[in-house]
Chain A
Amino acid sequence: MTRIPGLLDTEAIRKDFPLLDRQVHEGKKVVYLDNAATSQKPRQVLDALNAYYERHNANVHRGVHVLAEEATELYEGARDKVAAFINAPSRDEVIFTKNASESLNLVANMLGWADEPYRVDHETEIVITEMEHHSNIVPWQLLSQRTGAKLKWFGLTDDGRLDLSNIDEVITDRTKVVSFTLVSNLLGTINPVETIIRRAQEVGALVVIDASQAAPHMVLDVQALQADFVAFTGHKMCGPTGIGVLWGRQELLEDLPPFLGGGEMIETVSMHSSTYAPAPHKFEAGTPPIAQAVGLGAAVDYLSAIGMDKIAAHEHAITEYAVKRLLEVPDLRFIGPSTTEDRGATISFTLGDIHPHDVGQVLDEQGIAVRVGHHCARPVCLRYGIPATTRASFYLYSTPAEVDALVEGLEYVRNFFG
């Protein structure tokens, strides 16, 4: 048994996650290393979902009966929990969406339909990076195509970092919005937020941060980040699928127009026109994902009780161990930083000429779940001249023994195709 300082008591934590006990392929214990795709769910979250449906289910913000009041209290209570979790100055700055993709699309559409000074049009520029998930590329491509705004991006260095050497040429007086990921879902790189924000603020551009791979793994403080919008999803942080978050600065949410229209986002409606509810409701048309929000609230409670700083330390220790062990595997090439400095618990690699699909399949036969493919970040694969990668990603319940299993599994893969 490997002893590494900084690790959490994974034996106790793993008891909270029923799925981690599962066996696959006739008696092999599942080794779940696909946490960047989605996390497993603790009993506390599953119980909150069940309790909501079994005891409190009703539609929110309407009806005067006791169930409607309880449901509303639980839903809005989840908003309070999320606001505290990200240190938002106000709970009204937390918008519930269905996932991070919807959050990012929402911002892009707010800006596309906005009046001056926020309006993105043919005289302005949008800046993203080459390491974005498709969900932080395509909404901006759509906005660019519809408004005529120019889309620009930061390239990548050979060791998987953002190339900011030309930052003053990329972010200019014409830049209206800069949107980038805090942690890359493929490379694991943690990006230098301050440098980018400083330049964006110099030119008066809005900053959008995709924190999908950050919120589950580290302390996320939207005030310290100094961004204008922060997007993330619930299912990667022990919550259910179907719930995402967009945090935005209050004055922006007041000024910017709604995107989706419908129930709950209005103040008054006549046949000629409508006025809108204040944020966050202005951006939450229709019956929201109530149970999912409640589940996310329970997930936030669960993570906070353990401590995000402790989770970050655990993952850093596991990543250090994994990098060290993976370097022992012949023909293994990291795609992304090969050091643990400014990198999260996601490691992408190639293994000689063996296609990642084959690596993933043979690992699966041994009960090891990794992700293979381009991870919805195809431009990164193009940048490094590879069709795909194998990606192992860790979380608060990951153990050194699971890293060992991965390394042994990769040895087996090499022999199999060797």
Chain B
Amino acid sequence: MYQDVILDHYKHPHGRGLRDGDAEVHHTNPTCGDEITLRVRLDGTTVADVSYDGQGCSISQASASVLNDLLVGKELGEAQRIQETFLELMQSKGKLEPDDAMEEVLEDAVAFAGVSKYPARVKCALLSWMAWKDATAKALSEEATTA
């Protein structure tokens, strides 16, 4: 479960710290007390930045770091596809062996495949991804209101 990739991201998180954003959300994992505050900044249909701060286990923190790597700079449609693929992997209960196509989409995030075997930890891995989805929806709806 604790792949080196995960431990590396945990010890040296990418893009951590809160920066300007169009929307902010705060998500918690009530069973274990993991918390994340996450901001999304959009530039048209591009994910310009995902910044975050929080506390939690290595899985939740590493997952947020990988998310930052994967989604920043992507077109929204592509980012959503990555999010959905990660969700599919995490809900696979350890039965899904990531193939080349999935690895191409998820890059470092395939390291979390092993986490999907542990139901208690899946929520940790998904915390930042659900926060991102929520913050993006909020940013888009706010944009729609102000436009």
Chain A residues in contact with chain B, CB under 8 A? Answer: 355-358, 361-362, 372-374, 378, 381, 387-388, 416-417
Question: Which residues of B approach A to under 8 Å, CB–CB?
Answer: 1-2, 7, 31-35, 55-59, 118, 121, 124
Contacts of A417 in B (CB 8 A): 7, 58
- B1 contact set on A, CB distance < 8 A: 361
| Contact status A355-B58, CB under 8 Å | yes
Q: A355 near B118 (CB under 8 angstroms)?
A: no
Contact of A387 among B2, B7, B33, B58 (CB under 8 A): B33
CA A373 to CA B34, docked complex, whole Å: 9
- Report A-chain residues with C-beta under 8 Å of the C-beta of B34: 355, 357, 387
Interface of A is mostly: helix
The answer to whether A387 touches B118 (Cβ under 8 A) is no
Q: How far is the CA of A355 from the CA of B2 in the complex (A)?
A: 14
B118 adjacent to A373 (CB under 8 Å): no
Q: Is the CB of B31 within 8 A of A355?
A: no
Tell me if B124 and A357 are in contact (CB < 8 A). yes
Query: Could you tell me the distance in whole angstroms from the C-beta of A321 to the nearest C-beta in chain B?
Result: 29
Q: List 10 A-B contacts (CB under 8 A).
A: A355-B34, A355-B57, A356-B32, A356-B57, A357-B57, A357-B58, A357-B124, A373-B31, A373-B33, A388-B32
Kindly count the residue-residue contacts between A and B in the assembled complex, taking CB atoms under 8 Å apart: 42
- The answer to whether A387 and B35 touch across the interface, beta carbons within 8 angstroms, is yes
Residues of B within 8 A of A372 (CB): 32
The distance from the CB of A133 to the nearest CB of chain B, in whole angstroms, is 15
| A357 touching B121 in the complex, CB below 8 Å, given contacts A387-B55, A387-B56, A416-B2 | yes
Closest chain-A Cβ to B9's Cβ sits at a distance in Å of 13
In the complex with contacts A357-B124, A361-B121, A416-B2, A381-B58 CB distance below 8 A: no
Decide: B121 and A378 in contact? CB cutoff 8 A. no
> Which 7 A/B pairs are nearest by Cβ-Cβ distance?
A357-B57, A387-B33, A355-B57, A388-B33, A373-B32, A358-B58, A358-B57
> Complex: how many Å from CA A356 to CA B121?
12
Measured between beta carbons, the chain B residues less than 8 angstroms from A355 are 34, 55-58
Minimal Cβ-Cβ distance residue in A for B1: A361
How many angstroms from the CA of A373 to the CA of B57 in the assembled complex?
Answer: 11
Tell me, in angstroms, the Cα distance from A356 to B31 when the chains sit together. Answer: 12
Q: Does B33 contact A381, Cβ atoms closer than 8 Å?
A: yes
**In the bound complex, CA of A362 to CA of B31 (Å):** 18
A186 to chain B, nearest CB (A): 13
Output the residue of B31, B35, B118 with the most chain A CB within 10 A.
Answer: B31
Residue of A whose beta carbon sits closest to that of B61: A355
Chain B residues positioned under 8 Å from A381 (CB to CB): 33
- Give Cα distance in the complex from A273 to B59, angstroms: 58
Q: B121 contacts A374, CB within 8 Å?
A: no
- Chain B residues in 8 Å Cβ range of A374: 32-33
